[in-house]
Each structure stands twice: as C-alpha cells, then as structure tokens.
Amino acid sequence: MALDYVSTSKKILDAVGGAGNVASATNCMTRMRLVLNDESKANDDAVKAIKGVKSVIKQGGQYQVVIGNEVSNLMKEFNKLGNFSEDGGAKPAKAEGNPVQRLFGFVAGCLTPLLPAMLGTGMAKVVLTLLTTLNVMSSTGPTYIILYSMADSFFYFLPVMLGWSIAKKTGHSVPLYMVIGAALVYPDFISLLGGGVETAAYGTFLGQNCTYLFGFLPVIGASYTSSVLPMLLMAPVMGVVEDWADRVSPNVLKAFLKPLLFLLVCTPIVVVVLGPLGSVLGQVLSMITTVMYGTVPWLTVGVLSALMPFIVMTGMHYALIPLFTNNIATLGYDVVVLVTMFCSNLCQGGASLGVAVKTKDMETKSEGIACGISAIVAGVTEPAMYGINMRFMKPMIGAIAGAGVSGLLAGITGVKGYTMGGSPSIMSLITFIGGNDALGPFHSVIWGAVCAVVGLAISFGVTLILFKDEAPAAEVNTDAIAAGHAAMAGEEHVKQVSAAPLDIASPMTGKLVPMKDVPDEVFASGALGEGIAILPTDGKVIAPCDGVVAQTMDTRHAIGIVADNGVEILIHVGLDTVQLHGTPFKYHVKADQEVKKGDLLLTADLDAVTKAGKELYTPVIITNSDDYTEITPVDGAEITAGQKLMTVK
C-alpha cells in the first residue's frame, strides 16, 4: 500500500524531535537510519504509531525506523525537510582491515571524490600539450594561458580540494578544512616562503631557508601547490582540534570562537611542523640520491623510477628540483628527475590502461582509459595514481614493476635528459635529444623509446595478471536494456499480484535458519514479511525466480526482486551490513533489469563480512506477504542455491 510520503515524513521528523535533532539521515533496503543528537527527544511510541512504520530499533548509535520497500521513496521527501546528509554530523564508519589497508582506504576515500575534476583537468592538459607540440597553438598566447589556467587550477589548489574531501570523509567542517588548505597556497604565503618579502626576517633551520612565526617558530621554505601529504597528515590533527574547540567554546560564543580556535591552533601546526616535514624528508632523499647516483648510477635510476610514485605522492619530488637544475648546469644533462619520472609516469599510465582492459565495469573502464592517456601523453599521473592504481592497489604493483625495469634499462643504456619540457611523458622524448659524446645526439631518445615500450608492456601485463575485477558485468538482453531505459524515463514497474502458487528457489547455498531465530528484531518479528533465513557458505546470490530487479542499494548489501506474478522478494545479505558501505559486495545486475531464475544477482565476500564483525544471516523475505494466504518454507537443515526454498500461495 503506497504511503503519503510527504505527510509520513513530517510526522516521523516531528516524532524524533524535529530537524534540529537529526544529525544525519540515510537508509538501507528497508529502514531509515537516523543519527539523533539527543535520542531522549524521540517519542518511540509516536513513531511506531505512524502509518507505514513497522518498528523502531535503536542499534549502533542509530535510530532505525523500519518502513519496508517504500523507504527509498520516503527518504526523498524526508531529506527535503532539513539539511540532512549521509554523513552530516554523524561519526564516520570505523575503518576495517589491517593498518596498511586502512591507510590506503583513507587516502583513496579522500582522493576518489576529486576524480572527476582530476580527470577533466588532466585531459585538458593532454589536449593543450598536443596542440602546442603540433604548433597549432602558441604557449604564450592568451587562449593557451586561459585554458591552461583552468587545466592547472585543480593541481595548483589541490590542498584546498583535499580540505573539502577530508572534511567530508571524516564528518567535520568543510569550510574550516578548506581554509587550512587555502592558506598553504595563498600567494603572499608562497612569496614569503620564497624569500620575496623584504621586511621579513629569514634564517636557516635544519639546513633549510626559513622565516619565523611569532618571531621564533621556524617556518621552512617549501612549495605546497599540488601536494597531498600536508593535508593528509593534518587530517587527524584537524579532527582532534575541531572537537576540542567545540567542547571548550561556550554556546553563546561558539559561532565565532570555535572556528577561531581551530584556525589559530591548526595553522601553526601545518606551517611549522607537518607541512615542512615533507620538505625535510625530501632533502634527505635528495642527499641519498646524490650519493647513490655518484656510486651506482644505473641502479639509482632503476630504484628511483620504482619509488617515484611514492615520492610524488608525498610531494617530495619538489626536493629533487634543485638536484635537477644543478645537474643541467654542471653536467649538461639529468637522469634523477627527467628519466626516472619519465619511466614512472608512463608506467602509471600503462597500469591504468591494464585496468581499463581487464575490468568489465564500464565506468571504471572509462576512467582507466582517461587516466592512462593523461599519464602517458601529458605526464599528469595524479588521476591514474589516485583514481585507479592506489584505489585498486594491485595495479600499483604493475606500475612499480614496469618503472623499475624500464628505469634499470635506462640506467644501463645511459639514457639522459637534456632539457625540461614539462611533466615527463611520451612527448618528453624530444628532450632526450642532445649530448656531445660518441654515442650521438639520438642515443638517448632511441633508448628512451625502447624503455618506454618495455615499461608500458610490463606495467600493462603485470596489471592484467594481478588485477581481479571485483565482479564482471552482468550479461543483459534487449528486454533488460529496454527496462533500463524505461526506468530512466521515470516509468515504474507495475506489480501484478497473481493467485497462482509460486515456488521460490534458494538464492544462496548454506544452512537454513527459521526467521524467528535470526538475531535481529525486525526480521525475527516478521515486521517486513514472512520467509526464511540462510547462513551462507558461498557468496554467490542468484535469482530465486523469473522477474525484475525492483530495488538496489548503493551499499549493494541487499536486492529486491518482483516475480512475474507479483511476489515481492527481499534478499538481505548479512545483518546490519549497510554499515560496510558496499565494500564486500558487488552487483551483477541493475535496477529494472529482467532476470531469469538462476541468474547471478550479486556476490559477497563472506570472509570480509565476518572480519568486519557482521553476522552472515541472510533473510529471504516475501515483503508483500499480506497479499497471500500461505507462505511455506521447506523443511531441512541445508540447502543448495537453486533448490526449492519456499512456496507462496
């Protein structure tokens, strides 16, 4: 029975204490999941009495209002009543996995939202590089300057962008975090660190030029444009400081005192300690590199090429620029920056293209192609590095392997760069032309091309071997495509309830558990409908009958099917698995897609679900049970996917 979503939303909001009491609001397959500032203000009995509400559950810091299949439509109206968000004022989900996985997950979580802008500006640089290389456009003309300003703006202001994404990721104040990032790239601050302010006092600290904050705190001269490390290092600090400032600020003064305290504490930390940390580490790396190159030049090129992604990731590659300029001035060539970054950048692109070829997910394929071209043609590696290779981790192994081998070959064959021609890319081969030795001016460019082919082949090949697509795209027929177009046009699937009995097959293999024994009040009580649960031993979920995919979730932990005769089936993999944010799950079908009995619907990494502390009980529920007179689960202890699970009459 359809709800009056507008009226029901208003009643629920009033009953839980009003918009001011809702810190965040989201939903899973059947429940509204609210985080309330003060749960004591919510009237549980009043919420339960609202038409359409089946139950209220308080669990894991969430106030869960059980609605059923219509929850997603209800949430659309509910969210219009206040400035609610999925993260809002709620605490972010606890990271799972080992420390390395959590670190990579956090970094990827902060950088992935920036991917659209990163891809767009990166590809713009590719176009501009081609236009200027082919002499179609002058790099000194106003058109180029305007377009390049747009293309370079994202990377120049990367700390600001990171301020936004880190705040969103951690559930803190977006404007305050962005201010810290903006301060690092503010023109006057850059000029001050560069020694361009005549009235400023300058000195040295740890062998670095510096100025002074408050007259005594050394601020090392460093460049923070295009860097990621300072803001990532500041993430936990900013979170602690903001929470502290919120606690100590009286309510009457909080509007201005909290942000003032935050900025006054965080600014010295980032400019005095965490920001310069990358610069200091870079100088140490530069000294080590100088010694290595003087002793074993060919091995140095190979090792640095392999390590370059991590050097760039921390922003420490800027510390190599003085070494590059010194080499060009004294030796007439350079290998430490030009050659190693050339090998590394191409292999980042090769790995990204490997993902594009291997994956069957069209969005990832498109991203992989764009990122690969950006790295190979323009030397813009951030999209490939952060958007693809770090995101999936294994492609980074391919990139490192390819860069290491091609760098080693470049070192052995004596490949050198003679001038800087922008970010090293395949177009940079022309900067390898030169030299006055017996090998001739084209020695480096010829072997550089060979190294490029070797590096691309290895990074691409290793990625093809190691990268495992999270799930192959489902095969769809023309009817399914038509259904998809109908859904995009706003057409709804019309349920035709039939009195004819229907046998529902088991969607999973495992142990059968009566619904009353499921350790979740909502499912056990039958509030969502009758059915039976499965403790699965295999992560594959198949269609239990012919029908249409009626509902999917961003978190991919559950799926709804409407049988051809109108039976509505909900398959909910695990308990409270919405909190895993989709990580262990992958859909093989889309909403409104027609499916046949036995088609693969989704896959679940059962080990990951268990390690995350979630129960594997998988309820299979007939959500429109009231439309039928009898729902009879089969008897037995074990069941195999595809076998008869229940009969609906």
Instruction: Give the tens place of pLDDT for each residue, 47-83.
Output: 988 988 888 887 656 788 888 767 878 888 898 888 7
Whether 572 is catalytic is yes
Q: Which of 28, 110, 266, 343 is catalytic?
A: 28
Q: How far apart are CA 199 and CA 188, in angstroms?
A: 13
Which residues, 6 or more positions from 430, have their beta carbon under 8 angstroms from its beta carbon? 421, 445
- Residues forming beta bridges with residue 647, ordered by sequence position: 503, 632
Q: Which of 317, 443, 572, 588 is catalytic?
A: 572
Cβ-count burial 131-157 (b if 16+ within 10 Å, e if not): bbeeeebeeeeeebeebbeebbebbeb
Q: DSSP label at 589?
A: S
Q: What is the pLDDT of residue 400?
A: 95
At 399, the pLDDT band (50, 70, 90 cuts) reads: very high
At 504, the pLDDT band (50, 70, 90 cuts) reads: very high
Whether 443 is catalytic is no
Q: Domains (ranges, CATH) in the chain?
A: 5-81 (3.30.1360.60), 479-648 (2.70.70.10)
- Residue 322 has φ and ψ, to the nearest 5°, of -60, -35
At 506, the pLDDT band (50, 70, 90 cuts) reads: very high
CA angle, 61 as apex, 57 and 62 as ends, to 5°? 45
Asked if residue 331 has pLDDT above 60, the reply is yes
Asked if residue 282 has pLDDT above 90, the reply is no
Angle between helices 5-15 and 71-78 (to 10 degrees): 70
Asked if residue 168 has pLDDT above 70, the reply is yes
Say which range, 281-285, 371-375, 412-416, 537-541, has the weakest mean pLDDT: 281-285
Q: Find the mean pLDDT for residues 547-558.
A: 88
- Residue whose C-alpha is closest to residue 272's, from 236, 227, 311, 221: 221
Q: Give the E-state strand segments of 565-643 in sequence order.
A: 568-572, 585-587, 594-595, 600-604, 618-622, 631-633, 638-639
3-state secondary structure 16-42: CCCHHHEEEEEECCCEEEEEECCHHHC
Q: What is the pLDDT of residue 332?
A: 72
Q: Find the mean pLDDT for residues 314-339.
A: 65
Asked if residue 165 has pLDDT above 80, the reply is yes
At 604, the pLDDT band (50, 70, 90 cuts) reads: very high
Q: What is the pLDDT of residue 125?
A: 73
Provide, rounded to the nearest whole percent, the portion of the chain with pLDDT above 70.
Answer: 83
Q: How far apart are CA 277 and CA 268, in angstroms?
A: 13
Say which range, 8-22, 99-113, 190-204, 339-353, has the weakest mean pLDDT: 99-113
Instruction: Give the tens place of pLDDT for each residue, 561-591.
Output: 999 888 999 999 998 888 787 888 999 998 8
Instruction: Give the tens place of pLDDT for each residue, 483-501.
Output: 333 333 333 444 444 556 8
Provide, rounded to the nearest whole percent, the portion of the chain with pLDDT above 90.
Answer: 34
Which residues, 6 or more positions from 63, have their beta carbon under 8 angstroms from its beta carbon? 16, 33, 34, 35, 36, 39, 42, 56
Q: How far apart are CA 319 and CA 316, in angstroms?
A: 5
